[in-house]
Amino acid sequence: MDYSVEYKIFRNMQLAKRKKIFFTNDFLKFGHYKACNKALERLVEQKKILRVGRGTYAIPKKSDLLGDIPPTSDEIIKAIVKRDHAKIIPTGLLAENLLGLSTQVPAKMVYLTDGSPRKLQIDGGVVIFKKTSPKNLASKGKISTLVIQALKSIRKDRVTDYEIEKVINHLKREDPKYVAHDMKYAPLWIREIMNKAIIKPENQ
């Protein structure tokens, strides 16, 4: 069995000090796709590297106390987005959590994306990239985007006055131009909430 591809891949990963996440396509200079996949599978079996998703790998950090430490979900997500030149938007319970509207850390983190749909097992949880239409990714503001997704998740008939006040306070830290732009992509009841963050009192 020829282990030269395996050796080259692992050596390349070791030397890439600034890079933490690797993809099968990163190693095609060492062999064809099938050969690289087999080499990566052997490295996983030998516990030299971790498989964190389909075609996605990492060298774990070593700790005397904790053993192998896998990359964080944030590191993996950023690497995938950078490679695919994709846009992602946190949605559902994840958006609620990021805005402090929920203290529950979701076991399943769902992102809308214009990149490839995929499912990853990370940190004992699941990260899902769901392909969506460009319209659902047209918002510009980071905060206003989260607000729209969080309120959609909570739903009109369940949203509380406390949650409304909290999202308005969040939106006041957003560029008003982004809020006004992003309102166009929200349901009417969410637009009404968002509008409260940019309307100035009459005496101003």
The residue extents of the domains of the chain are: 4-69, 85-204
Which tokens is 144 given? 């206003």
Could you read off the pLDDT of 6-31 as tens digits, one per residue? 999 999 999 987 788 999 999 999 99
Q: Which residues pair with 130 in a beta bridge?
A: 112
Kindly give the interhelix angle for 161-171 and 188-195, rounded to the nearest 10 degrees: 60
Residue closest to 167 by CA, chosen among 8, 183, 25, 177: 183
Helix, coil or strand: residue 193: helix
Residue 66 is predicted with a pLDDT of 67
The domain defined by 4-69 carries CATH number 3.30.1490.20: no
Rg of the chain over all Cα atoms, to the nearest angstrom: 21
pLDDT at 204 over 60: no
pLDDT tens figures, 176-186: 999 999 999 99
pTM, entire model: 0.78
- What mean pLDDT comes out for the span 83-98? 93
